[in-house]
Amino acid sequence: MAAGFTFPIIRRLVSPFGSHYSRLSNARSLTYMPRPGDGDPRPVTLIPGDGIGPLVTNAVEQVMEAMHAPVYFERYDVHGYMKEVPREVIESILKNKVCLKGGLMTPMGGGVSSLNVQLRKEFDLYASLVNCFNFPGLPTRHENVDIVVIRENTEGEYAGLEHEVVPGVVESLKVISKFSSERIAKYAFEYAYLNNRKKVTAVHKANIMKLADGLFLESCREIATQYPSIQYNEVIVDNCCMQLVSKPEQFDVMVTPNLYGNLVANTAAGIAGGTGLMPGGNVGCDHAIFEQGASAGNVGNEKIVEGKKANPVALLLSSAMMLRHLQFPSFADRLESAVKRVIMDNKCRTKDLGGDSTTQHVVDAVIAFLD
Protein backbone atom coordinates (compact mmCIF):
# COMPACT_ATOMS: atom_id res chain seq x y z
CA MET A 1 0.00 0.00 0.00
CA ALA A 2 1.60 3.26 -1.11
CA ALA A 3 1.80 5.98 1.50
CA GLY A 4 0.36 8.49 -0.95
CA PHE A 5 -3.04 6.84 -0.72
CA THR A 6 -3.57 7.81 2.91
CA PHE A 7 -1.18 10.60 3.85
CA PRO A 8 -3.22 13.51 2.42
CA ILE A 9 -6.38 12.10 3.90
CA ILE A 10 -5.03 11.91 7.43
CA ARG A 11 -3.49 15.35 7.12
CA ARG A 12 -7.03 16.67 6.61
CA LEU A 13 -8.44 14.53 9.41
CA VAL A 14 -5.98 15.62 12.09
CA SER A 15 -7.77 15.46 15.40
CA PRO A 16 -8.11 18.78 17.21
CA PHE A 17 -8.39 17.23 20.65
CA GLY A 18 -5.15 17.29 22.61
CA SER A 19 -4.78 16.00 26.14
CA HIS A 20 -4.61 19.50 27.60
CA TYR A 21 -7.38 21.02 25.43
CA SER A 22 -5.26 24.05 24.65
CA ARG A 23 -7.81 25.23 22.09
CA LEU A 24 -10.11 26.32 24.91
CA SER A 25 -7.97 29.43 25.16
CA ASN A 26 -8.67 32.47 23.04
CA ALA A 27 -5.16 32.52 21.59
CA ARG A 28 -5.08 32.89 17.83
CA SER A 29 -4.06 29.70 16.05
CA LEU A 30 -1.04 29.49 13.76
CA THR A 31 -1.36 31.42 10.53
CA TYR A 32 -3.05 29.38 7.83
CA MET A 33 -2.06 30.31 4.29
CA PRO A 34 -4.87 29.28 1.92
CA ARG A 35 -4.39 28.56 -1.72
CA PRO A 36 -6.28 30.75 -4.21
CA GLY A 37 -9.86 29.52 -4.36
CA ASP A 38 -9.77 27.74 -0.98
CA GLY A 39 -12.51 30.05 0.29
CA ASP A 40 -15.00 29.01 -2.38
CA PRO A 41 -18.13 27.46 -0.79
CA ARG A 42 -18.04 23.67 -0.88
CA PRO A 43 -21.06 21.43 -1.45
CA VAL A 44 -21.69 18.73 1.15
CA THR A 45 -24.22 15.91 0.80
CA LEU A 46 -26.54 15.92 3.82
CA ILE A 47 -28.50 12.86 4.98
CA PRO A 48 -30.64 13.78 8.03
CA GLY A 49 -31.54 10.12 8.58
CA ASP A 50 -34.01 8.69 11.10
CA GLY A 51 -35.11 9.46 14.65
CA ILE A 52 -32.94 12.18 16.17
CA GLY A 53 -31.03 12.58 12.90
CA PRO A 54 -33.08 15.51 11.57
CA LEU A 55 -32.75 17.29 14.94
CA VAL A 56 -28.96 17.06 15.14
CA THR A 57 -28.30 17.69 11.44
CA ASN A 58 -30.49 20.79 11.66
CA ALA A 59 -28.37 21.89 14.62
CA VAL A 60 -25.30 21.69 12.40
CA GLU A 61 -27.04 23.65 9.63
CA GLN A 62 -27.95 26.45 12.05
CA VAL A 63 -24.42 26.73 13.46
CA MET A 64 -22.84 26.67 10.00
CA GLU A 65 -25.15 29.48 8.91
CA ALA A 66 -24.36 31.50 12.04
CA MET A 67 -20.61 31.14 11.35
CA HIS A 68 -21.06 31.91 7.65
CA ALA A 69 -19.06 28.75 7.02
CA PRO A 70 -18.16 28.27 3.34
CA VAL A 71 -20.23 25.12 2.88
CA TYR A 72 -23.71 24.47 1.56
CA PHE A 73 -25.75 21.32 1.87
CA GLU A 74 -27.45 19.13 -0.68
CA ARG A 75 -30.16 17.41 1.35
CA TYR A 76 -31.48 13.92 0.61
CA ASP A 77 -34.09 11.89 2.47
CA VAL A 78 -32.75 8.42 3.16
CA HIS A 79 -34.27 6.04 5.70
CA GLY A 80 -33.09 2.80 7.20
CA TYR A 81 -36.06 0.79 6.00
CA MET A 82 -35.04 1.32 2.36
CA LYS A 83 -33.47 -1.67 0.64
CA GLU A 84 -30.63 0.42 -0.75
CA VAL A 85 -29.30 3.96 -0.85
CA PRO A 86 -30.98 5.84 -3.73
CA ARG A 87 -28.81 6.32 -6.78
CA GLU A 88 -29.09 10.13 -6.70
CA VAL A 89 -27.57 10.11 -3.20
CA ILE A 90 -24.64 7.97 -4.36
CA GLU A 91 -24.07 10.35 -7.28
CA SER A 92 -24.17 13.38 -4.97
CA ILE A 93 -21.50 11.90 -2.69
CA LEU A 94 -19.42 10.88 -5.69
CA LYS A 95 -19.53 14.50 -6.89
CA ASN A 96 -19.08 16.27 -3.56
CA LYS A 97 -16.72 13.71 -1.99
CA VAL A 98 -17.96 14.70 1.48
CA CYS A 99 -21.16 13.76 3.32
CA LEU A 100 -22.65 14.56 6.72
CA LYS A 101 -25.28 12.17 8.01
CA GLY A 102 -27.51 11.40 10.94
CA GLY A 103 -28.18 7.86 12.08
CA LEU A 104 -30.00 5.44 9.80
CA MET A 105 -32.13 2.86 11.57
CA THR A 106 -31.19 -0.76 10.84
CA PRO A 107 -34.05 -3.29 11.09
CA MET A 108 -33.25 -6.30 13.25
CA GLY A 109 -33.16 -9.46 11.15
CA GLY A 110 -35.43 -9.82 8.16
CA GLY A 111 -32.64 -9.77 5.61
CA VAL A 112 -32.51 -5.95 5.30
CA SER A 113 -28.88 -4.82 5.34
CA SER A 114 -27.65 -1.70 7.13
CA LEU A 115 -27.53 1.37 4.90
CA ASN A 116 -24.80 2.72 7.18
CA VAL A 117 -22.64 -0.26 6.18
CA GLN A 118 -23.74 0.00 2.54
CA LEU A 119 -22.44 3.56 2.33
CA ARG A 120 -19.07 2.62 3.82
CA LYS A 121 -18.65 -0.22 1.34
CA GLU A 122 -19.90 1.76 -1.66
CA PHE A 123 -17.18 4.39 -1.23
CA ASP A 124 -14.54 2.08 0.29
CA LEU A 125 -14.47 4.14 3.47
CA TYR A 126 -12.05 1.71 5.03
CA ALA A 127 -11.10 3.76 8.11
CA SER A 128 -13.49 4.69 10.88
CA LEU A 129 -12.11 7.20 13.38
CA VAL A 130 -13.74 7.93 16.75
CA ASN A 131 -12.16 10.33 19.25
CA CYS A 132 -13.17 9.66 22.89
CA PHE A 133 -11.91 12.24 25.37
CA ASN A 134 -12.80 14.03 28.60
CA PHE A 135 -14.45 17.44 28.41
CA PRO A 136 -13.34 20.11 30.89
CA GLY A 137 -16.26 20.86 33.18
CA LEU A 138 -17.92 17.46 32.72
CA PRO A 139 -17.03 15.12 35.62
CA THR A 140 -16.54 11.46 34.75
CA ARG A 141 -15.29 8.43 36.65
CA HIS A 142 -11.93 8.54 34.85
CA GLU A 143 -9.73 11.52 33.99
CA ASN A 144 -7.08 12.00 31.30
CA VAL A 145 -9.00 9.95 28.75
CA ASP A 146 -8.01 10.81 25.18
CA ILE A 147 -8.42 7.73 23.00
CA VAL A 148 -8.63 7.50 19.22
CA VAL A 149 -10.22 4.28 17.97
CA ILE A 150 -9.35 3.48 14.35
CA ARG A 151 -11.46 0.64 13.02
CA GLU A 152 -11.25 -1.33 9.79
CA ASN A 153 -14.56 -0.59 8.13
CA THR A 154 -15.03 -2.89 5.15
CA GLU A 155 -14.66 -6.54 6.13
CA GLY A 156 -14.54 -8.77 9.22
CA GLU A 157 -17.90 -9.86 10.60
CA TYR A 158 -19.52 -6.95 8.74
CA ALA A 159 -18.77 -8.54 5.36
CA GLY A 160 -22.39 -9.72 5.36
CA LEU A 161 -21.54 -13.21 4.12
CA GLU A 162 -24.21 -15.33 5.78
CA HIS A 163 -26.22 -18.30 4.61
CA GLU A 164 -28.31 -21.12 6.01
CA VAL A 165 -26.40 -24.37 5.59
CA VAL A 166 -29.38 -26.55 6.53
CA PRO A 167 -32.61 -25.53 8.27
CA GLY A 168 -31.72 -24.29 11.74
CA VAL A 169 -27.99 -23.87 11.03
CA VAL A 170 -26.62 -20.51 9.83
CA GLU A 171 -23.03 -19.88 8.82
CA SER A 172 -21.58 -16.36 9.07
CA LEU A 173 -18.15 -15.76 7.58
CA LYS A 174 -15.51 -13.44 9.01
CA VAL A 175 -13.23 -12.13 6.27
CA ILE A 176 -9.78 -10.73 7.05
CA SER A 177 -7.36 -9.85 4.24
CA LYS A 178 -3.72 -8.77 4.36
CA PHE A 179 -4.45 -5.82 2.06
CA SER A 180 -7.16 -4.36 4.29
CA SER A 181 -5.26 -5.12 7.49
CA GLU A 182 -2.12 -3.40 6.23
CA ARG A 183 -3.89 -0.29 5.04
CA ILE A 184 -5.80 0.21 8.31
CA ALA A 185 -2.58 -0.35 10.27
CA LYS A 186 -0.83 2.16 8.00
CA TYR A 187 -3.62 4.65 8.59
CA ALA A 188 -3.39 4.23 12.38
CA PHE A 189 0.37 4.72 12.49
CA GLU A 190 0.28 7.69 10.14
CA TYR A 191 -2.45 9.23 12.27
CA ALA A 192 -0.33 8.74 15.38
CA TYR A 193 2.73 10.19 13.64
CA LEU A 194 0.92 13.27 12.33
CA ASN A 195 -0.81 13.96 15.65
CA ASN A 196 2.20 13.46 17.93
CA ARG A 197 0.59 10.40 19.49
CA LYS A 198 2.94 8.10 21.34
CA LYS A 199 1.42 4.61 21.15
CA VAL A 200 -0.65 2.38 18.90
CA THR A 201 -2.45 -0.63 20.41
CA ALA A 202 -3.74 -3.45 18.20
CA VAL A 203 -6.89 -5.14 19.53
CA HIS A 204 -7.39 -8.78 18.58
CA LYS A 205 -8.54 -12.30 19.49
CA ALA A 206 -5.66 -14.16 17.86
CA ASN A 207 -5.47 -16.62 20.75
CA ILE A 208 -8.71 -18.16 19.38
CA MET A 209 -9.00 -16.95 15.77
CA LYS A 210 -5.41 -17.78 14.98
CA LEU A 211 -5.56 -17.40 11.21
CA ALA A 212 -7.91 -14.41 10.82
CA ASP A 213 -6.81 -12.25 13.74
CA GLY A 214 -3.32 -13.71 13.38
CA LEU A 215 -3.14 -12.16 9.90
CA PHE A 216 -4.37 -8.83 11.28
CA LEU A 217 -1.65 -8.86 13.96
CA GLU A 218 1.03 -9.87 11.47
CA SER A 219 0.09 -6.88 9.31
CA CYS A 220 0.14 -4.48 12.27
CA ARG A 221 3.56 -5.74 13.33
CA GLU A 222 5.00 -5.23 9.86
CA ILE A 223 3.72 -1.65 9.66
CA ALA A 224 4.93 -0.92 13.21
CA THR A 225 8.53 -1.53 12.15
CA GLN A 226 8.24 1.48 9.83
CA TYR A 227 7.51 3.79 12.80
CA PRO A 228 10.23 3.15 15.41
CA SER A 229 9.38 6.36 17.29
CA ILE A 230 5.85 5.11 18.07
CA GLN A 231 5.35 2.51 20.77
CA TYR A 232 3.38 -0.55 19.65
CA ASN A 233 1.58 -3.12 21.77
CA GLU A 234 -1.23 -5.65 21.49
CA VAL A 235 -4.17 -6.56 23.69
CA ILE A 236 -6.77 -9.34 23.49
CA VAL A 237 -10.21 -7.82 23.04
CA ASP A 238 -11.78 -9.18 26.25
CA ASN A 239 -8.83 -7.97 28.34
CA CYS A 240 -9.03 -4.69 26.41
CA CYS A 241 -12.60 -4.11 27.61
CA MET A 242 -11.59 -4.78 31.21
CA GLN A 243 -8.61 -2.43 30.90
CA LEU A 244 -10.78 0.27 29.34
CA VAL A 245 -13.19 0.41 32.26
CA SER A 246 -10.44 0.18 34.89
CA LYS A 247 -7.53 2.22 33.46
CA PRO A 248 -8.52 3.91 30.18
CA GLU A 249 -5.78 6.54 30.36
CA GLN A 250 -3.22 3.89 29.33
CA PHE A 251 -4.61 3.87 25.77
CA ASP A 252 -3.73 6.34 23.03
CA VAL A 253 -4.46 5.19 19.45
CA MET A 254 -6.21 1.84 19.09
CA VAL A 255 -6.41 -0.05 15.79
CA THR A 256 -8.98 -2.81 15.46
CA PRO A 257 -10.80 -5.12 13.07
CA ASN A 258 -14.39 -4.18 12.29
CA LEU A 259 -16.52 -5.69 15.07
CA TYR A 260 -14.05 -5.12 17.90
CA GLY A 261 -13.77 -1.46 16.92
CA ASN A 262 -17.50 -0.96 17.31
CA LEU A 263 -17.42 -2.44 20.82
CA VAL A 264 -14.25 -0.61 21.88
CA ALA A 265 -15.39 2.79 20.55
CA ASN A 266 -18.73 2.60 22.34
CA THR A 267 -17.09 1.51 25.59
CA ALA A 268 -14.52 4.30 25.40
CA ALA A 269 -17.25 6.83 24.61
CA GLY A 270 -19.27 5.77 27.64
CA ILE A 271 -16.22 6.13 29.86
CA ALA A 272 -15.37 9.60 28.55
CA GLY A 273 -18.84 11.13 28.85
CA GLY A 274 -21.30 9.39 26.54
CA THR A 275 -22.00 8.63 22.90
CA GLY A 276 -23.78 11.96 22.51
CA LEU A 277 -20.45 13.77 22.74
CA MET A 278 -17.91 11.85 20.69
CA PRO A 279 -17.17 12.87 17.08
CA GLY A 280 -16.23 10.55 14.28
CA GLY A 281 -15.87 10.01 10.58
CA ASN A 282 -15.34 7.39 7.92
CA VAL A 283 -12.70 8.04 5.31
CA GLY A 284 -11.30 6.41 2.19
CA CYS A 285 -8.91 7.48 -0.53
CA ASP A 286 -11.39 9.82 -2.23
CA HIS A 287 -14.49 10.25 -0.05
CA ALA A 288 -15.48 10.86 3.57
CA ILE A 289 -18.70 10.58 5.57
CA PHE A 290 -18.93 12.29 8.94
CA GLU A 291 -21.40 11.18 11.59
CA GLN A 292 -21.73 10.69 15.33
CA GLY A 293 -18.61 8.80 16.36
CA ALA A 294 -19.95 6.09 18.68
CA SER A 295 -23.32 4.42 18.12
CA ALA A 296 -23.39 6.07 14.70
CA GLY A 297 -26.56 4.18 13.81
CA ASN A 298 -28.32 5.38 16.96
CA VAL A 299 -31.61 7.09 16.14
CA GLY A 300 -32.67 7.73 19.76
CA ASN A 301 -36.01 6.86 21.27
CA GLU A 302 -39.44 8.28 20.60
CA LYS A 303 -39.53 10.31 23.81
CA ILE A 304 -36.32 12.16 22.96
CA VAL A 305 -37.51 12.83 19.41
CA GLU A 306 -40.91 14.12 20.54
CA GLY A 307 -39.36 16.31 23.23
CA LYS A 308 -36.70 17.53 20.77
CA LYS A 309 -34.05 16.88 23.40
CA ALA A 310 -31.36 15.08 21.39
CA ASN A 311 -27.76 15.96 22.19
CA PRO A 312 -26.23 17.61 19.08
CA VAL A 313 -22.67 17.85 20.43
CA ALA A 314 -21.31 14.70 18.76
CA LEU A 315 -22.48 15.73 15.30
CA LEU A 316 -21.41 19.35 15.84
CA LEU A 317 -17.88 18.16 16.62
CA SER A 318 -18.02 15.72 13.70
CA SER A 319 -18.91 18.66 11.48
CA ALA A 320 -15.85 20.48 12.85
CA MET A 321 -13.78 17.47 11.72
CA MET A 322 -15.49 17.85 8.35
CA LEU A 323 -14.53 21.52 8.18
CA ARG A 324 -10.91 20.66 8.85
CA HIS A 325 -11.09 17.92 6.21
CA LEU A 326 -12.32 20.61 3.77
CA GLN A 327 -9.36 22.80 4.79
CA PHE A 328 -11.36 25.38 6.72
CA PRO A 329 -9.38 25.13 9.99
CA SER A 330 -10.36 28.47 11.54
CA PHE A 331 -14.05 27.65 11.24
CA ALA A 332 -13.38 24.25 12.83
CA ASP A 333 -11.49 25.93 15.69
CA ARG A 334 -14.34 28.37 16.34
CA LEU A 335 -16.94 25.63 16.40
CA GLU A 336 -14.97 23.32 18.69
CA SER A 337 -14.18 26.15 21.08
CA ALA A 338 -17.83 27.21 21.28
CA VAL A 339 -19.04 23.66 21.97
CA LYS A 340 -16.47 23.12 24.72
CA ARG A 341 -17.34 26.46 26.32
CA VAL A 342 -21.01 25.47 26.42
CA ILE A 343 -20.16 22.25 28.24
CA MET A 344 -17.79 24.00 30.64
CA ASP A 345 -20.41 26.69 31.31
CA ASN A 346 -22.70 23.96 32.71
CA LYS A 347 -25.90 25.90 32.07
CA CYS A 348 -27.19 24.13 28.99
CA ARG A 349 -27.05 20.34 28.91
CA THR A 350 -29.30 17.66 27.52
CA LYS A 351 -30.67 14.82 29.63
CA ASP A 352 -27.80 12.43 28.90
CA LEU A 353 -25.45 14.97 30.52
CA GLY A 354 -27.65 15.51 33.57
CA GLY A 355 -29.67 18.49 32.31
CA ASP A 356 -33.04 19.06 30.69
CA SER A 357 -32.17 21.31 27.75
CA THR A 358 -33.61 20.86 24.29
CA THR A 359 -31.54 20.50 21.16
CA GLN A 360 -32.40 24.08 20.25
CA HIS A 361 -31.22 25.37 23.63
CA VAL A 362 -27.81 23.80 23.02
CA VAL A 363 -27.66 25.22 19.50
CA ASP A 364 -28.49 28.72 20.74
CA ALA A 365 -25.81 28.45 23.43
CA VAL A 366 -23.18 27.31 20.94
CA ILE A 367 -24.03 30.18 18.60
CA ALA A 368 -23.80 32.63 21.49
CA PHE A 369 -20.29 31.39 22.30
CA LEU A 370 -18.99 31.61 18.74
CA ASP A 371 -16.04 33.99 18.58
- Residue-wise pLDDT for 251-294, tens only, equals 999 999 999 999 999 999 999 999 999 999 999 999 999 999 88
From the list 104, 105, 48, 41, the residue with the least C-alpha distance to 75 is 48
Residue 67 has pLDDT above 80, yes or no: yes
Q: What Rg, from alpha-carbon coordinates, does the chain have?
A: 20
pLDDT digits (tens, 9 = 90+) for 79-101: 988 989 999 999 999 999 999 99
Boundaries of every domain in the chain: 40-106+113-133+275-370, 141-160+170-272
Please provide residue 75's backbone torsions phi and psi, each rounded to the nearest 5 degrees: -90, 135
Q: What secondary structure letter does DSSP report for 23?
A: G
pLDDT digits (tens, 9 = 90+) for 206-215: 999 999 999 9
Q: Do 40-106+113-133+275-370 and 141-160+170-272 come out as alike in CATH topology?
A: no
pLDDT digits (tens, 9 = 90+) for 126-166: 999 999 999 999 999 999 999 999 999 999 887 778 888 99
CB 248 within 8 A of CB 271: yes
CB 312 within 8 A of CB 357: no
Q: What is the distance between the alpha carbons of residues 121 and 215, in angstroms, rounded to a whole number?
A: 21
Q: Write the DSSP assignment of 254-285 as a string of letters.
A: EEE-HHHHHHHHHHHHHHHT-TTT-EEEEE-S
Q: What is the pLDDT of residue 117?
A: 87
Q: What is the pLDDT of residue 300?
A: 78
Q: What is the pLDDT of residue 1?
A: 43
CATH of domain 141-160+170-272: 3.40.50.2300
From the list 251, 310, 236, the residue with the least C-alpha distance to 277 is 310
Mean pLDDT value of segment 182-203: 97
Residue type, 289: I
From the list 171, 236, 228, the residue with the least C-alpha distance to 199 is 228
Q: What secondary structure letter does DSSP report for 137?
A: T
Q: Where are the alpha helices (DSSP H) in the chain?
A: 7-12, 53-67, 87-96, 115-122, 178-194, 212-224, 237-246, 258-272, 302-307, 313-325, 329-345, 359-368
Element (H, E) at 234: strand 231-236
Which residues contact residue 180 at a Cβ distance below 8 angstroms, ignoring those fewer than 6 apart? 126, 152, 154, 155
Mean pLDDT value of segment 217-239: 97
pTM of the entire predicted model = 0.88
Q: Name beta bridge partners: 244.
A: none
Which residues contact residue 184 at a Cβ distance below 8 angstroms, ignoring those fewer than 6 apart? 126, 127, 150, 151, 152, 153, 255
Residue 298 has pLDDT above 80, yes or no: no
By CB neighbour count within 10 A (0-12 exposed, 13-18 middle, 19+ buried), where does 344 fall? Answer: middle
∠ at Cα 329 (327, 330), nearest 5°? 135
By CB neighbour count within 10 A (0-12 exposed, 13-18 middle, 19+ buried), where does 138 fall? Answer: middle
Which residues contact residue 183 at a Cβ distance below 8 angstroms, ignoring those fewer than 6 apart? 1, 5, 6, 126
Query: 40-106+113-133+275-370 belongs to which CATH class?
Result: alpha beta
Q: What is the distance between the alpha carbons of residues 164 and 318, in angstroms, rounded to a whole number?
A: 39
Q: What is the distance between the alpha carbons of residues 298 and 104, in angstroms, rounded to a whole number?
A: 7
Residue 16 has pLDDT above 70, yes or no: no
